[in-house]
Structure 1
Amino acid sequence: MSAPRAVLMELEGVLVETYDARRTALLRALADDGISISALDYDDVAHGLPVRGAVRAAIASAEEHMDETGVELVALRAERYFAESAATGVMLTDGARDALAALHAVARLGLVTRAARREVEPVLDAADASFIFECIVTADDVPDRPKPDPASYLSAVGRLERRRAILPREAIALEDARSGIRSARGAGLRCLAVGSVPAFRALDADGYLPTLRGATLESLDAAGGGEGRG
């Protein structure tokens, strides 16, 4: 049974700690328009979605109504507030730096993120990690088909395929939210939930890792139940 040939991963929550900054930014942007949701509601309806999807979900949860112009304005404010927070520095998740180095030595790596490219590039530069990824797919690349749609993972596999043959079942994904897990599984990849993912949100995953500390290609494969489940 062979180990995966590629590892595709979300940036937020898997490689860098962004949960608090994202939640604070969205709640603040909504509050500017007099809309309030709780932290629990954020977790239930908005966590793991691209910014505009998170805004729409939060507004619906608050039983408010807003046209697309309003949604766009809230999203732009949320992105600005997040950027202000990220500018003060981002923290890699536990074990991420060593795991990236170990995986880069033996597998093809790709980034498949719900974040916008303008948000991703400064984070990767700060972490000195841009060179590690053979492909990077952001929310900008699939604007009409965000996670949980499989389009972002299908795009990543397609980009890898153009360089050297690979099948979805030969890759494994690392995700921190149900929407990402469903996206990866929908594209035919095995997927591990990583980090502080509540059990009921990780039900669709093939396995779970509390952190990336000590992660190797073999340990990811084992956590995912061995070679593709079909």
Structure 2
Amino acid sequence: MSRLSALIFDVDGTLAETEELHRISFNATFAEIGLDWEWDRALYRELLAVTGGKERIRYYIDEFDGSVDIPPAGIKQIHERKTAIYTERMAEGALGPRPGILRLIHEARNAGVKCAIATTTSRPNIDALLQSAFAPEAVGWFDAIAAGDEVPRKKPAPDVYTLALERLGLPAAECLAIEDSRNGLDSARAAGLGCVITISPYTDGQDFSQALKTVAHLGDLETRNPAIEGGMVTLAMLQSWHSRAR
């Protein structure tokens, strides 16, 4: 039986409910540069099936607006401006951690269980979120960070989880992924990890049958999860779910 040595967290929708701010930032960018695109929530939910912001723009052009032809360099510039707007708004306090995240990270670190990040988002977005929504020193809480701009393929490919495992120096059997989407679940499983799902508003209704456990959120003293006895997903519970899967 493998012990649980590390928790590997997704970012968007898992550490924080970021997707709505991403959507707003995309729309602000489109308006600023004169594109008449407006991504409403229903459309953005569909677009989230495509991982990566630049890839999402490319998909939208190919599937929804054949009237424009933006080269890769142009898409990169659009995405960079969107990232800047997102970062600015986040720094203004637009986001906070999802319920139970802070508690669980501190519980894991105090118990000697490492914490890591594996995400399709870019490293600047990760750093900005951790510093503004968690704590100025929060980047240092994570023993490894693997970002989408560091790997050739994004989720559901396993690349970003494989990179996180390499940086942790641990086998997949000793790690547990925490995700919010089917793409993330598939990515974690392809890398050999068990996965716990915390459903987000943009991913409810997806097929999570291959997850070790699916919960609304991790819960904390103020925001209890009604699906979990006691209202909180603890490190001990994660260790139990992890051991039963091995």
TM-score (norm 2): 0.81
Aligned partners of 1:27 and 1:225: how far apart in 2? 44
Could you tell me whether the CA contact under 8 Å between 1:150 and 1:184 is conserved in 2?
yes
Q: Larger deviation: 104-113 or 40-49?
A: 40-49
CA contact 2:212–2:245 (8 Å) conserved in 1: no
Name which of 237, 242, 245 aligns with 1:219. 237
SS in 2 for 1:200: coil
Q: Which amino acid aligns with 2:187?
A: S
1:68: which partner in 2? 72
Q: For 2:21 and 2:28, locate their aligned partners in 1 and report how far apart those are by CA, in whole Å.
A: 10
Partner of 2:161: 153
Are 2:125 and 1:119 equivalent residues in the alignment? yes
Find the counterpart in structure 2 of residue 97 from structure 1: 102
Matches for 1:1-230 after TM superposition, within 5 Å: 3-31=3-31, 32-46=34-48, 49-64=51-66, 65-89=69-93, 90-106=95-111, 107-126=113-132, 127-128=134-135, 129-142=138-151, 144-161=152-169, 166-196=170-200, 197-213=203-219, 214-223=232-241, 226-228=244-246
Amino acid in structure 2 at the alignment position of 1:102: E
**Judging changes above 3 Å, is the alpha-carbon distance between structure 1 residues 145 and 49 closer, same or farther for their aligned structure 2 residues?**
same
- Following superposition, the deviation at residue 185 of structure 1 comes to 1.0
Moved over 6 A (4+): none
Structure 1, 201-210 or 188-197: larger mean CA deviation: 201-210
Structure 1 residues 221 and 77, CA gap change in structure 2 (3 angstroms): same
Task: Pick which of 197-206 and 131-140 moved more.
Answer: 197-206
Preserved contact between residue 109 and residue 115 of structure 2 (Cα < 8 Å): yes
Question: How many percent identity over aligned positions?
Answer: 24
* SS of match in other structure, 2:214: strand
Q: Map Cα deviations across residues 58-95 of structure 1 (whole Å, 9 max, x no partner).
A: 33341434321332232122212211211211311111
1:26-72 deviations in Å (ceiling 9; x for gaps): 23334542234432121122267222122223333414343213322
CA contact (8 A) 2:50 2:59 kept: no
Higher mean alpha-carbon deviation, 169-178 vs 150-159, is at 169-178
Cα contact 2:51–2:155 (8 A) shared by 1: yes
Task: Give 5+ residue unaligned stretches, structure 2.
Answer: 220-231
Distance 1:201 1:73 in 2: 34
Change (3 A) 1:224 1:55: farther
| Alpha carbons 1:48, 1:176 under 8 Å: kept | no
Greater mean deviation of Cα atoms: 206-215 or 94-103: 206-215
Task: Go from structure 1 to structure 2 and tell me whether the alpha carbon gap of 1:101 and 1:47 turns closer, same or farther (over 3 Å shift).
Answer: farther
* 1:105-153 residue CA offsets vs partner (Å, 9 max, x unmatched): 22111111222112222322332222221111112321x2222221110
* Structure-1-length-normalised TM-score: 0.86
